[in-house]
Structure 1
């Protein structure tokens, strides 16, 4: 049996088992006779399970239908490639961040590069950004008194440009040289009404889940699950979302919907929704063609997620996406799931509190016998867990989904509720992505999780105390969830405790040919990793580098070559090779531009999948060891 058939069979079995379980839960287990509060709590728990499971059903169905909506990128002759306006949006980001993105855009390959028109769209109207654009030979579109955030910035750019295609990039998103060649051809198929091509959001720095939990070698970026899995699955219902960057859009389609929308703090999400309502296809691809920076502090990340939550709800309300007849049923269900997803954080809190209420306070939320529970719950739980693995191709599993939801839950419940009842957030706040040295901790954010840990421990002690034999077996399901939730809460506390960051720039693994020159002698070698101010490399013979000694390096890749002034830092012998690290500085401006491309015009070296061999024990032990051992990792 093929993998696809096994996966689909598992999905169908999961839908069947979970359907039976939910029917039993809703109609036979609510404790109606125990009073209004326990009945209400029982209903909330059942609704939380229903919300979580139905969302999973929609994703499984999308996965099963996904291959039917796969679009081949057509082969196009060089002369047919149209003009493209490349728009780089900026508000208050520093010039050194923009430099890398603008520089990369100037290296974009295209059959006729005179058809590529690059513009920095600066609604801060800053002189230094205007000078940077001129220095790098690209256009500048400044805007004063912008009242409409990113939408106003881009609409101003649309009014001053005219190419039939528009590529949009955030200020930190660095495109690879093949970006246009792998996106523009989709628009040249006359049989398909493409409005937007969205490539995955990718990040070359460790996100906070990887960094704060010492998991940078074991788990992918938290956003990979949406960009590489969920958004691609939504091609099946033509509900793939525009995520604001790394995107190509048809100008004609934008003109039909009146430009980028106002009245929302997630203009990107609403843009794709309006394009779909206008009859255009928005298509998400799987190949990473640009990478940027993840939020670097807990505060900025939580602020970002609150904006996403409130913005998605705003946009769904603005467009009537769930009930409109301009979208097919599958698309409307997809947007219903997108709305309900933001309530999953309340569901997660309900799942944490429910066993505590029962074990610590005797508050009954489910009325059933132990063997009934095993009969209905256990098959659905096992099938659900396996289906999550099939769904995400090892980018995400159920444990990590619940860890992430637990971390974010206390801070998203209230904003989601307010937005849902019409109390809107109007102000758009740009996420701070500038990397900072020092501790990433935010102790005030750890308080809710710490309180829940204390309650969970108290519930375990009270509930398990004095039980043995069959009594302990009958208590096993409640104890299972108490211990399970306790582990996710421990992860959350570790996350909020943060980790000290000592590097200003990310190190990216890169194997490129290099030549070191010292004392009139040349040494050939291969780079191991690179960063904006540093390099490590292997040489085939020993070089007498003394720490602090100056020398020269030339690094050559398939497309780039740069000369660097270097200062030796460290060396050691590894088998028959010698390993060296050095601080570097490009010799000229052109070398700097080439060096930045060598660093960033590549697939980043962070994990793409979860390490299946890492257990809860391994991860918690490592966090304890790395936080409190004498030699701590930086």
Structure 2
């Protein structure tokens, strides 16, 4: 009889799941992703399913009250899950609206008339190499907007950079100290600009590794037709793969981690009037900056705080969702984790600042909600991700039952909520959410980010600004043992617990009742997540490549022999050609439209052509930089491709086995 009852319950719960699946698969055929009503209905159903799920968790799955380890583990996990779910619900509310401003930018292009507004372009730099800085400086110089001035703000006081700026005819600034880090550097430049005979009308900010596209200023300035707009933020795109994409071999099939925020969350935030400044790739009205006294220095994430400072004065931040700049994603895993921990720390500093959600400032309720939503994301998502990996081990090794739930109930309550959320995200933001890879990207920085969250919340002051290192030698395989070690230990313990639990009853006990199904599911799932996390900690060699480039035609000239060939790969120093094969050492010229004849030497023969070394003139080098970074569409991958992900990870595992 118990087996018959179980199968009956499983059948009923499966019907619920199939109903959700059937409705969810029809969404793409009738949902208008830009319609607020459609978005609200889908996400409202998700909200109801979330409430239904968390009510079930709180009333039917927890250990009974008492001074027991079961209660401590069960209730602590529920508390973490409840807080993380509150963050998800807040995100659902934000995603119920969306605003795309491209049509507005079209309608108000050139609103200023014949006299272009004057724009100061600030490039803040600390320790970047010339190879990183030159493409940003060149890109800024060749923006189509004519009435501009490029300023390089050097917080390392390097003479070679001063000389390079003089050569490029751009303005160079340094200051006597590094007080206030990046925000202080920019504020020093603003004070110097205020002393000029004619101050700028607008100030654009670029990180040292971000290259503006030719139309960056014109498109962004169009939105300042509204006098209440103080700041326009544009998305950040990256011409290189981030460490997770690169180390897992999926840079051609899986979008970088920032695409979700910049392509989807920021337009949704703009729909609510709570878009935020993200530092680089933004433009601010000069008068607004002077009114608030420059960039805030209470937080290491001065950009978000700048939005709050402007909003307190009734000045708006808006978002233009167009690829108008591209930059360098962190190339190393340590830098990737350090950057995100800094963002987390900065947000916690804002929470405790004079512009925090509980402060006596004049911020709107929605601005306070904006900060609270970010607090929930940083303080709950990452600790909960660690807990999901750790808590199943409590059962395998200590017989501690964390979730006591039958399999049919898990399918009915959790399965329906998760499946509906997945199908809604698949509809509203296709290709953004691949469950296991999403969890890998969270888990890999979870320890450092959780530490930063609680440190920043309880001790917000006295933390130095951590600059994300750029450049350096990336030509060797590097194992990030310090990052890998905790995940490797957790993987071994998870496999050990699962194995012993299956083969023996010495460690895994048989009295967990229905809760064992939950433990087994999460244990197997965690094996996959932890395996990929460990693999991502093995950094593969990198070479410069331009992931947005498509094969292009060019002319290869060798002593009067003129051949049209395909360029299959190209960077500033080398190219791969498909066509007639020439012996190594052959002197030639590569003729490219709008660039000219670039002197070249054949380095080696390939199966279908040659690999050549390029020796461009200074003018040709500038033209190549503009071609690679300042022109064309957004680099990178916009949505996940399942077949490509599986093939890429297959090649990655093959590479590991060969070593």
**2:556–2:590 contact (8 Å) kept in structure 1:** yes
Which residue pairs with 1:460 in the alignment?
A: 498
Task: Output the CA distance in 2 between the equivalents of 1:68 and 1:624.
Answer: 40
Correspondence for 2:480: 442
The 5 Å alignment of 1:395-474 reads 395-422=432-459, 424-436=461-473, 437-465=475-503
2:574 aligns with one of 530, 534, 554 = 534
Aligned residue for 2:419, secondary structure, equals: helix
State which drifts further: 419-428 or 291-300: 419-428
Using a 3 Å threshold, how does the CA distance of structure 1 residues 58 and 465 change in structure 2: closer, same or farther? same
What residue number does 1:350 align with? 387
Q: Which residue in 2 is equivalent to 1:327?
A: 363
Cα gap change, 1:615 to 1:261, in 2 (>3 Å): closer
- Given that residues 60 and 391 in structure 1 are in contact (C-alpha distance below 8 angstroms), is that contact kept between their aligned partners in structure 2? no
In the other structure, the counterpart of 2:325 is 290
Q: Return the alpha-carbon distance in structure 2 between the equivalents of residues 163 and 615 of structure 1.
A: 47
- From the superposition, tell whether residues 572 and 350 of structure 1 become closer, same or farther in structure 2 (CA, over 3 Å): closer
Contact 2:589 2:600 in 1 (8 A): yes
Relative to the length of structure 1, the TM-score reads 0.90
Instruction: Tell me how far apart the structure 2 counterparts of residues 328 and 458 of structure 1 sit (CA, whole Å).
Output: 52
Using the alignment, how far apart are the partners of 1:141 and 1:456 within structure 2? 55
1:306 aligns with 2:341: yes
The answer to whether the 8 Å contact 1:505/1:533 transfers is no
C-alpha distance in 2 between matches for 1:466 and 1:573: 55
- Matching of residues 104-119 of structure 1 within 5 Å: 104-110=139-145, 113=146, 115-119=147-151
The 8 Å contact of residues 253 and 645 in structure 2, kept in 1 or not, is answered as no
- C-alpha contact (below 8 Å) 1:298/1:440 kept by paired residues: no
Separation (CA, whole Å) in 1 of partners of 2:188 and 2:70: 56
Equivalent position of 2:527 in the other structure: 486
Equivalent runs, 1:35-46 vs 2, <5 Å: 35-46=67-78
8 Å CA contact retained: 1:435, 1:504: no
SS of 1:218's partner is: coil
SS at match of 2:356: coil
Moved more, 44-53 or 348-357: 44-53
Paired with 2:622 and 2:606, the residues of 1 have a C-alpha distance of: 30
* Deviation string, structure 1 residues 156-175 (Cα, Å, up to 9, x no partner): 11112220100110111111
Indicate how the Cα distance of structure 1 residues 606 and 505 shifts in structure 2: closer, same or farther if over 3 A, else same: closer
Distance 1:282 1:600 in 2: 26
Tell whether 2:557 aligns with 1:517. yes
Q: Indicate if the aligned counterparts of 2:440 and 2:529 stay in contact, CA closer than 8 A.
A: yes
Is 1:89 the equivalent of 2:121? Answer: no
User: 369, 375, 394: which one pairs with 1:339?
Assistant: 375
Q: Given the alignment of the two structures, is residue 582 of structure 1 paired with residue 612 of structure 2, yes or no?
A: yes
Query: For 1:562 and 1:321, how far apart are their aligned partners in 2?
Result: 55
1:521 offset after TM fit, Å? Answer: 3.0
2:631 is equivalent to residue 599 of structure 1 = no
CA displacement 1:290-333 (0-9 Å, x = unmatched): 11111122222222122111111112221443235633333322
Deviates most, 202-211 or 63-72: 63-72
CA distance in 2, matches of 1:217, 1:23: 41
Aligned-partner SS, 2:633: coil
Residue 380 (str. 1) matches residue 412 (str. 2): no
Contact 1:388–1:398, Cα closer than 8 Å, also in 2: no
Q: 2:294 aligns with which of 259, 262, 266?
A: 259
Using a 3 Å threshold, how does the CA distance of structure 1 residues 277 and 43 change in structure 2: closer, same or farther?
A: farther
- Pair 1:69–1:53, CA change in 2 (3 A): farther
Distance 2:226 2:55 in 1: 47
CA distance in 2 between counterparts of 1:42 and 1:365 reads 4
Cα gap change, 1:167 to 1:562, in 2 (>3 Å): farther
Answering whether residue 204 of structure 2 is matched by residue 157 of structure 1, we say no
Shift of 1:149: 0.7
- Residue matched to 1:389: 426
**Residues 108, 177 of structure 1: 8 Å contact kept:** yes
Is 1:224 the counterpart of 2:264? The answer is no
Task: Give the Cα separation in 1 of the matches to 2:168 and 2:54.
Answer: 60
Cα distance in 2 for residues equivalent to 1:143 and 1:244 = 20
Report deviation, 1:246: 0.9
The 8 Å contact of residues 98 and 172 in structure 1, kept in 2 or not, is answered as: yes
Shift in Å, 1:153: 0.8
Question: In the superposition, relative to structure 1, how do residues 466 and 371 fare at CA in structure 2: closer, same or farther (>3 Å)?
Answer: farther
| Aligned with 1:136 (options 142, 163, 168) | 168
Question: Are positions 1:76 and 2:110 aligned together?
Answer: yes
CA contact (8 A) 1:536 1:581 kept: yes
Q: CA deviation at 1:242?
A: 1.6
What is the Cα deviation at residue 531 of structure 1? Answer: 0.3
Alpha-carbon deviation of 1:547? 1.6
Change (3 A) 1:334 1:397: farther
After superposition, give the CA deviation of every residue in 1:470-509 in whole Å (9 maximum; x if it has no partner): 99987333211111111110011001122233x2565652
Closer, same or farther in 2 for the Cα pair 1:622/1:87, shift >3 Å? same
Asked whether the 8 Å contact 1:410–1:448 carries over to 2, the reply is no
Among candidates 631, 640, 643, match of residue 613 of structure 1: 643
Structure 1 residues 131 and 346, CA gap change in structure 2 (3 angstroms): same
Distance 2:513 2:358 in 1: 49
Q: More relative contact order in 1 or in 2 (CA 8 Å, sep 6+)?
A: 2
CA contact (8 A) 1:505 1:532 kept: no
Q: Mind listing any 5+ residue stretches in structure 2 that lack a counterpart? A: 1-29, 194-198
In the alignment, the residues of structure 2 paired with residue 428 and residue 389 of structure 1 have an alpha-carbon distance, to the nearest angstrom, of 37
Measure how far apart 1:453 and its partner are: 0.8
Greater shift, 30-39 or 283-292, is seen at 30-39
1:607 is displaced (CA, Å) by 1.7
Distance 1:168 1:506, change over 3 A: same
Instruction: Tell me the residue number matched to 1:279.
Output: 314
